[in-house]
Amino acid sequence: MSPFSMPLYTDKDCDLSLIQNGVVALIGYGSQGRSHALNLKDSGVNVVVGLRADSSTRAQAQSDGFKVMEPAIAAAQADVVMMLTPDENQPEIYRDHLAANIKQGAVLGFAHGLAIHYGLLKPRADLDVFMVAPKAIGPAVRAEYVAGRGPAGLIAIHQNASGRARDLALSYAAALGCGRTGIFETSFKIECEGDLFGEQAVLCGPLPRLITAAYETLVEAGYPPEIAYFECVHEVKLVVDLIYARGIAGMRDMISNTAEFGAYRAEERIIPPSVKAAMKTILDEIQSGAFVKDFLGGNKEGLARLPDLRVRAAAHPMEDVGAAIRKLVLKSAS
Ligand SMILES: NC(=O)c1ccc[n+]([C@@H]2O[C@H](COP(=O)([O-])OP(=O)(O)OC[C@H]3O[C@@H](n4cnc5c(N)ncnc54)[C@H](OP(=O)(O)O)[C@@H]3O)[C@@H](O)[C@H]2O)c1
pLDDT digits (tens, 9 = 90+) for 148-160: 999 999 999 999 9
- % of the chain surpassing 90 pLDDT: 95
Confidence of residue 331 (pLDDT cuts 50, 70, 90): confident
Mean pLDDT of 258-264: 98
Ligand 1: residue whose CA is nearest its atom 2: 137
Please tell me what DSSP assigns to residue 203. I
Q: CA-based Rg of the chain, rounded to a whole angstrom?
A: 22
pLDDT digits (tens, 9 = 90+) for 219-255: 999 999 999 999 999 999 999 999 999 999 999 999 9
Q: Render 133-191 in DSSP notation, one character per residue.
A: EESS-HHHHHHHHHTT----EEEEEEE-SSS-HHHHHHHHHHHHTGGGT-EEEE-HHHH
- 168 alpha-carbon distance from chain centroid: 21
Ligand 1 residue neighbourhood (C-beta within 6 Å): 28-33, 51-52, 55-57, 71, 84-87, 89, 93, 111-112, 133, 137-138
What is the 86 CA–ligand 1 centroid distance (Å)? 4
Mean pLDDT of 124-132: 98
Q: What 3-state class would DSSP assign to 115?
A: helix
Q: Residue 262's pLDDT is what?
A: 98
Confidence of residue 332 (pLDDT cuts 50, 70, 90): low
pLDDT digits (tens, 9 = 90+) for 29-42: 999 999 999 999 99
Confidence of residue 334 (pLDDT cuts 50, 70, 90): very low
Q: pLDDT averaged over the chain? A: 96
112 in active site? yes
Separation of first and last alpha carbons in the chain: 47
What is the 12 CA–ligand 1 centroid distance (Å)? 30
Ligand 1: residue whose CA is nearest its atom 25: 28
Q: 56-60, 129-133, 276-280, 328-332: which has the minimum mean pLDDT? A: 328-332
User: Which domains does the chain possess?
Assistant: 8-186 (3.40.50.720), 196-330 (no CATH)
Q: How far lies 297's CA from each of 8, 282, 284, in Å?
A: 36, 17, 18
Confidence of residue 298 (pLDDT cuts 50, 70, 90): low
Instruction: For residue 49, report the phi and psi dihedrals to the nearest 5 degrees.
Output: -120, 130
Catalytic residue among 36, 97, 112, 158: 112
Mean pLDDT of 116-125: 97
What is the 62 CA–ligand 1 centroid distance (Å)? 17
Atom index in ligand 1 nearest the CA of residue 52 equals 33
| Size of the chain in residues | 334
pLDDT digits (tens, 9 = 90+) for 304-328: 889 999 999 999 999 999 999 999 9
pLDDT digits (tens, 9 = 90+) for 65-98: 999 999 999 999 999 999 999 999 999 999 999 9
Q: 103-117, 203-217, 268-282, 289-303: which has the minimum mean pLDDT? A: 289-303
Q: Residue 89's pLDDT is what?
A: 95
Identify whether the C-beta of residue 6 lies closer than 8 Å to the C-beta of residue 54: no
Atom index in ligand 1 nearest the CA of residue 140 equals 3
Q: Residue 299's pLDDT is what?
A: 63
Q: Residue 303's pLDDT is what?
A: 86
Atom index in ligand 1 nearest the CA of residue 85 equals 24
Q: What 3-state class would DSSP assign to 30?
A: coil
pLDDT at residue 191 tops 90: yes
What is the 31 CA–ligand 1 centroid distance (Å)? 7
Mean pLDDT of 151-171: 98
Q: Residue 304's pLDDT is what?
A: 87
Using most ligand atoms within 8 A of CB, pick from 39, 55, 81, 114 the residue to mutate for ligand 1. 55
Q: Residue 333's pLDDT is what?
A: 46
Q: Whole-angstrom Cα distance, residue 18 to residue 77?
A: 16
Q: Residue 232's pLDDT is what?
A: 98
Mean pLDDT of 137-153: 97
Using most ligand atoms within 8 A of CB, pick from 32, 116, 117 the residue to mutate for ligand 1. 32
Q: Residue 231's pLDDT is what?
A: 98
Q: Residue 302's pLDDT is what?
A: 82
Ligand 1: residue whose CA is nearest its atom 3: 137
